[in-house]
C-alpha cells in the first residue's frame, strides 16, 4: 500500500559514523519513483538524481523517525570499523489496503517461518497470526 508508514528506531546511540539513517530531501513530494533491484534491506533502490540532497544526522537511543512510504531513505555506510548499527523498523498500513506477499515473509536472507517457529509451542496463537485476518494480498511489482 502506498499508505504505509514506517517508524525507525535506533537501538542505541547512532552517530553518522555508524551508518545512521538519511532521507532524500523532498522525496515524498515526487510520488512513486522508478526503482531497480539492489542488494541490502528491501532489495530495491529508488532511481534518484545524482545531486540528490540527503538529510540526517546523529540519533540517540529513544529517537524515532516516522516516514511515509513515498519517502526515500537509506542507511549510510558504517565507517566505525568495529561497531554494528542495530535498528528496528515497524511498518503500518490500513488493514483494508492490499498487503504485499513479501511483506508477510521474514526479513532475513533465506530464513523461513518454519525455521523461526521450530522451537515454539505448536499451539502458540502468535504463530502465523496474520493468517486469521481478512487480508487481501498482492505480489510485489
What integer pLDDT is reported at residue 116 of this predicted model? Answer: 93
Tell me: do 103 and 65 sit in the same domain.
Answer: no
Instruction: State the total domains in the chain.
Output: 2
Tell me: do 88 and 111 sit in the same domain.
Answer: no
What integer pLDDT is reported at residue 7 of this predicted model? Answer: 96
Total residues found in the chain within this entry: 141
Tell me: do 73 and 115 sit in the same domain.
Answer: no
Q: Please give the residue range of the domain that contains residue 131.
A: 98-141
Contacts 24+ apart (CB under 8 A), 57-61: 57/16, 57/20, 58/13, 58/14, 58/15, 58/16, 58/20, 59/10, 59/13, 59/14, 59/15, 59/20, 59/21, 60/10, 60/13, 60/14, 61/10, 61/11, 61/12, 61/13
What integer pLDDT is reported at residue 25 of this predicted model? Answer: 92
What integer pLDDT is reported at residue 133 of this predicted model? Answer: 93
Tell me: do 103 and 72 sit in the same domain.
Answer: no
Tell me: do 87 and 140 sit in the same domain.
Answer: no
pLDDT tens digits in sequence order for the chain, 141 residues long: 678 899 999 999 999 999 999 999 988 877 787 677 777 666 777 777 778 899 999 999 999 999 998 898 888 889 999 999 999 999 999 999 999 888 898 876 678 999 999 999 999 999 999 999 999 999 977
Tell me: do 106 and 136 sit in the same domain.
Answer: yes
Gap between the Cα atoms of 118 and 97, Å rounded = 31
What integer pLDDT is reported at residue 41 of this predicted model? Answer: 67
Tell me: do 84 and 107 sit in the same domain.
Answer: no
Q: State pTM to two decimals.
A: 0.78
CATH number (domain holding residue 22):
2.60.120.620
Residue 107: helix, strand or coil by DSSP?
A: coil
Tell me: do 83 and 105 sit in the same domain.
Answer: no
Amino acid at each position: 500500500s502506498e499508505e504505509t508508514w514506517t517508524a525507525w528506531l535506533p537501538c542505541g546511540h547512532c552517530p553518522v559514523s555508524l551508518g545512521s539513517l538519511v532521507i532524500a530531501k523532498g522525496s515524498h513530494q515526487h510520488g512513486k519513483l522508478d526503482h531497480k533491484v539492489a542488494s541490502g534491506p528491501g532489495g530495491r533502490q529508488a532511481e534518484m538524481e545524482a545531486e540528490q540532497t540527503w538529510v540526517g544526522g546523529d540519533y540517540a537511543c529513544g529517537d524515532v523517525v516516522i516516514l511515509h512510504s513515498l519517502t526515500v531513505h537509506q542507511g549510510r555506510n558504517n565507517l566505525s570499523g568495529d561497531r554494528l548499527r542495530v535498528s528496528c523498523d515497524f511498518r503500518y498500513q490500513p488493514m483494508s489496503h492490499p498487503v504485499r506477499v513479501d511483506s508477510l515473509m521474514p526479513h532475513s536472507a533465506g530464513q523461513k517461518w518454519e525455521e523461526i517457529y521450530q522451537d515454539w509451542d505448536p499451539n502458540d496463537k502468535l504463530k502465523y497470526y496474520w493468517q486469521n485476518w481478512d487480508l487481501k494480498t498482492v505480489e510485489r511489482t
